[in-house]
């Protein structure tokens, strides 16, 4: 770097923020990527108050329920967290970029000088900003690390609102299955993937990426549906799910035993001449609602019949799982002939499995069952 650059930067007064930056151009406008100390994030980036009307804000209001989860991610993974850049607009006439040199790469690298009186509007990252503030209270040492910030200069409110819209318009959350597949911190997620790759009923028949399966798919289950069903089976309700050796064994044993008592599952696991798309077109048990309901029923089975739950599962063979059996499934797993995963349908489907296996219905289950029978008779 040239001596003139260093002299100019060192000669700045103390009433400015001075960020090492790289200058870029998008849509004919300059923007800057800077490294900002984490401890400065809560101080310089202030989100708009909830009382301000939406049309006068550059961001949505905070969803406070999201903040503890993000903060705990930072707190619990101080050596292994990843945070994406915060995007912000800076309004101030004295904002300037001092390049490290006049030519080549040096003209694109330098220092972004922002007066402390400048106004910052977060375009993307307000929940990360709030989570950082919460995490610093428990782990102040995180403040010495840095986070990348993309600065758009003097954009004004309308431009800031447009930036927010553009940044979020094409954002697509990863599917639940992909999140499970790539999550190496969640013990439970790793177990579900292991089970999907080893149990005969799941191995080769599980879509590891999607949360829904097309009519022509060669898969019968999704990774997310196995996760959800096993979550219900083992009563895992907390965000961070640990799993014991005995719980692993119970889940493996349960799904193996269920397979023995659903003829079509047994044929599929044995690689008999049967196709997943044919099963999904003909049987209720080949859909996520049935898998989830089996998990719910299995939880009660473990609690009420801990010593002979396997024998109770044999009664699954008595169920006519055919989608054509509308007298049994319409209103439970189906609405107007279509499979429905709505909460009411899920409970009514699990009710049927529980009653078949001699498990008494309680509370909301019985209330929903009574209403269903009343409507059916009426």
Residue-wise pLDDT tens digits, 292-330: 999 999 999 999 999 999 999 999 999 999 999 999 999
| Mean pLDDT within 250-258 | 97
Number of residues assigned to the chain: 378
Do 217 and 144 reside in the same domain of the chain? no
pLDDT the model gives residue 165 = 66
The domain in which residue 30 lies consists of 3-169
Rounded Cα distance, 117 and 100, in Å: 25
Q: Is residue 227 located within the same domain as residue 299?
A: yes
Pairwise pLDDT comparison (350 vs 49), residue with the higher score: 350
The last residue of a domain, from among 122, 141, 169? 169
What is the pLDDT, as a whole number, of residue 108?
92
Over the Cα atoms of the chain, what is R_g?
Answer: 28
Query: Could you read off the pLDDT of 163-202 as tens digits, one per residue?
Result: 666 766 666 678 889 888 888 888 999 999 999 999 999 9
> How many independent structural domains does the chain possess?
2
Q: Are residues 235 and 367 in the same domain?
A: yes
Q: What mean pLDDT comes out for the span 231-247?
A: 89
128 and 218 belong to one structural domain: no
> For 1-33, what is each residue's pLDDT tens digit?
555 555 555 555 567 888 999 999 988 888 999
Mapping DSSP to helix (H, G, I), strand (E, B) and coil, where does residue 145 land? coil
- Looking at the structure, tell me whether residues 143 and 260 fall in a common domain: no
- Which of 121, 130, 188, 131 lies closest to 156, judged by CA? 121
Please tell me the distance from the alpha carbon of residue 212 to that of residue 290, in angstroms, as a whole number: 14
Do 206 and 309 share a domain, yes or no? yes
Mean pLDDT to the nearest integer, 237-261? 92
Is 71 a residue whose pLDDT tops 70? yes
Q: Is 202 in the same domain as 116?
A: no
Among residues 140, 136, 158, 160, the alpha carbon closest in space to that of 150 is found at 160
Question: No. of H helices and E strands in the chain?
Answer: 16, 11
- Quote the pLDDT of residue 191: 95
Burial 291-328 (b: 16+ CB within 10 A, else e): bbbbbbbbbbbeeebeeebbebbeebeebebebeeeeb
Share the mean pLDDT of the chain: 87
CA angle 334, 336, 339 (to 5 degrees): 30
Last residue of a domain, one of 169, 186, 221: 169
């Amino acid at each position: 770097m040239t001596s003139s650059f260093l002299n100019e930067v060192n000669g700045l007064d103390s009433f400015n923020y001075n960020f090492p930056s790289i200058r870029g151009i998008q849509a004919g406008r300059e923007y800057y990527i800077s490294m900002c100390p984490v401890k400065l994030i809560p101080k310089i980036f202030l989100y708009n108050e909830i009382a301000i009307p939406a049309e006068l804000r550059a961001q949505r209001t905070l969803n406070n329920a999201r903040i503890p989860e993000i903060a705990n991610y930072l707190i619990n993974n101080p050596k292994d967290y990843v945070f994406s850049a915060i995007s912000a607009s800076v309004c101030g006439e004295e904002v300037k970029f001092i390049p490290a040199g006049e030519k080549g790469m040096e003209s694109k690298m330098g220092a972004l000088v922002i007066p402390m009186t400048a106004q910052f509007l977060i375009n993307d990252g307000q929940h990360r900003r709030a989570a950082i503030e919460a995490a610093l209270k428990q782990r102040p040492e995180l403040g010495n690390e840095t986070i990348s910030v993309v600065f758009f200069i003097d954009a004004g409110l309308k431009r800031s609102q447009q930036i927010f819209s553009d940044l979020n318009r094409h954002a697509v959350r990863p599917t639940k299955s992909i999140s499970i597949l790539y999550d190496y911190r969640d013990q439970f997620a790793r177990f579900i993937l292991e089970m999907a790759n080893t149990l005969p009923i799941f191995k080769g028949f599980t879509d590891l990426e999607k949360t829904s399966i097309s009519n022509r798919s060669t898969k019968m289950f999704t990774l997310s549906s196995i996760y959800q069903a096993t979550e219900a089976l083992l009563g895992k309700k907390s965000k961070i799910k640990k799993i014991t050796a005995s719980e692993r064994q119970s889940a493996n044993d349960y799904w193996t035993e269920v397979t023995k008592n659903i003829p079509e599952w047994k044929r599929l696991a044995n690689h008999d001449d049967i196709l997943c798309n044919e099963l999904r077109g003909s049987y209720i048990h080949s859909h996520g609602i049935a898998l989830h309901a089996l998990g719910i029923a299995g939880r009660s089975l473990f609690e009420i019949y801990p010593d002979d739950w396997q024998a109770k599962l044999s009664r699954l063979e008595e169920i006519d799982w055919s989608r054509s059996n509308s007298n049994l499934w319409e209103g439970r797993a189906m609405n107007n002939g279509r499979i429905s995963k709505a909460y009411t349908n899920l409970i009514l489907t699990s009710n049927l499995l529980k009653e078949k296996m001699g498990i008494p219905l309680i509370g909301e289950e019985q209330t929903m069952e009574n209403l269903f029978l009343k409507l059916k008779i009426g």
